Amino acid sequence: MEKIVILSGAGLSAESGLGTFRDEGGLWTQYDLADVATPEGFARDPGKVLDFYNERRANAAGARPNAAHHALVRLQHERDVLLVTQNVDSLLEAAGARDVLHMHGRLDRATCAACGASWPAPPVMSVSDRCPDCGARATRPDVVWFGEMPVGLDRIDAALSQATLFVAVGTSGTVYPAAGFVDLARANGTPSVELNLEASSGVFDDGRYGPASEIVPAWVGKILSDNR
């Protein structure tokens, strides 16, 4: 029985109007990630970090899934697919995905650095917010920062060890551990496909290149018609 693991990145949501990180004009060309995406940056200036994610949350709230999100969800409904995403937006869920592993967390959740509670994030988070569970003024976006452990690695490892196909969509493959999933898949003898605007530095068995809204639906259509 086929088991497909799909890893997505910012390129999946680019045509929904959410910026990528490393392309021209990307977020990490405008902001220093050490300031806004590390625990040390948050300790130095929590207001700056909350503002950065408040803006991301507002952008994401106004975005709609594109044809690539819808195609991946269609595949998940028809096949055994684990959707793993590095994206903190909820566009796969908005397209109807029933299970998405957000390995870098979610913008629409908040967490307490003191007690670990997690709850739906308000549209605007502020340094004066208190944790609804323990009352500490230690609330932060429930996202994974550089130097922190991604979410769900055991589940991803288990899925990769059983996968019959690994697919990376819209990711530059520069951030580990996600960037190493293709190597794990290939070491297991699992075929791998890259769907991206252009070839990344990862080594894949196959690649389709172009805008995600075009190449992902085409690829999904082929998978569904090849293996009826």
Rounded distance between C-alpha atoms, residue 13 and residue 213, angstroms: 9
Give the gyration radius of the chain's Cα atoms.
18
Per CB under 6 A, 11 contacts ligand OAD = yes
Q: Which of 212, 219, 220, 223 binds ligand OAD (CB under 6 A)?
A: 212
Is 104 in the active site?
Answer: yes
Per CB under 6 A, 152 contacts ligand OAD = no
Catalytic residue among 69, 70, 102, 104: 104
Neighbouring-strand partners of residue 7 = 84, 168
The answer to whether 73 and 169 have CB atoms below 8 angstroms apart is: no
The answer to whether 67 and 213 have CB atoms below 8 angstroms apart is: yes
Stretch that binds ligand OAD, among 21-29, 42-50, 92-100, 122-130 (CB under 6 A): 21-29
Look up residue 57 and give its two tokens.
């949350």
Exposure string of 138-170, with b = 16+ CB inside 10 Å and e = fewer, is: bbbbbbbbeeeebbeeeebeebbeebebbbbbb
Per CB under 6 A, 44 contacts ligand OAD = no
Per CB under 6 A, 14 contacts ligand OAD = yes
CB of 216 to ligand OAD, least distance (A): 8
* Pick 136 or 218: Cβ nearer ligand OAD: 218
Which residues belong to the active site?
Answer: 104
- Interface residues with ligand OAD (CB under 6 A) are 9-11, 14-15, 20-23, 26, 37, 86, 104, 144, 146, 170-172, 174-175, 196-198, 200, 211-212
